[in-house]
Amino acid sequence: MPTTHVLNSGSTNHRSQKHNDGHLHDNNKVNGKIEEAGVRVNKAFRQTHSRREADALVASGRVHVNGTKPEPGTRLQPGDVVTLDGKRVAWERLEPTSKKRQTKETAASSKAASTPADVRQSMKKFVYIAYHKPKGVTCTTDQKDATNLLAALQRAGVEKKSKNQRLFPVGRLDKLSTGLLVVTSDGRVPNAVLAPDAKYQKQYVVKPHERVTDEHLRELRSGVIITTTAQRKGAKPLTAKTMPCQVDRRGDDLCFTLEEGRNRQIRRMLEALGYRTLALHRPSFAGLKLHGRTAAPGGWALLEGDELDVVAKWLK
């Protein structure tokens, strides 16, 4: 019989506690009954919304857990980051059940660490992976999508190093794009590195359908008016000029270095000036680069050494 994915997206059927491997995962027995680990995502809003209202928030797409949209049955674990309309929700403080289940180790890791050594210590229980996303993989954890990220990671063998933890991407690359994608089980990372005031640099090498003129190159550097929509239901389109950025030539290709990260930003910038994007590749992200085992599409590696120091700086 096939086994279930160990790269848990949070959308599995939580009423069925026994996995196909015959083992019970992340559950406790209370008064002779199986108790599911974590708390349902709707309970993150227990002090401000009714259960029905909280369910509606989740269904509308306004709620994110660790940067991705949860399913109604998703259960939160200590350390998960919950946001509503982009604003962080202090659900662990509001939800006493979560506090009861936290171990001292988990509670310590979810607090802001005061020194680099504290940060590195708090990172030991999590997994941090560099993945070279190939073309055709969608940055979603929804297993209803056949091209979802978790399925691609499973095919690549990441599950052997995932410590049976729920993994999710930090940021996104669209389905047609390739390059470095950070995957982790640490819910603190997405907000730390993607917050608007974080200003970490991401580099992209882009192939337009024809050579960009010098005049258009200057426009790309100074900013182009584009319309983008945040990836959540009900979000209103934003029409605004992009922030100034570094754009250099690489033959007929262009190399963009961005600090902001609007949805499909580079493709829309080029489209606004009459260019089609034939290929888009991200070789570096917030201080990390593709190399060695991650040099080829589909390659992956656990972050280690200096790379973990980069992650620690994100979390400081």
- pLDDT confidence of residue 103: 44
Pick the CATH number of 38-111 from 3.40.50.300, 3.40.50.920, 1.10.3720.10, 3.10.290.10: 3.10.290.10
Give DSSP secondary structure letters for 121-151. HHHTTS-EEEEEEPTT-BS---TTSTTBHHH
To 5 degrees, how large is the angle CA 202–CA 8–CA 262?
25
CB 42, CB 51: distance < 8 Å:
yes
pTM above 0.95, yes or no: no
Domain 128-315 class?
alpha beta
CA-CA distance, 139 to 149, in Å (whole number)? 5
CB 17, CB 54: distance < 8 Å:
no
Residues of the chain with confidence (pLDDT) below 70: 1-37, 93-114, 230-235
| Domain boundaries along the sequence of the chain | 38-111, 128-315
Catalytic residue numbers, as ranges? 174
- pLDDT confidence of residue 7: 57
- pLDDT confidence of residue 51: 82
Query: Can you read off the two tokens belonging to residue 144?
Result: 């209803």
- pLDDT confidence of residue 237: 80
CA-CA distance, 208 to 277, in Å (whole number)? 5
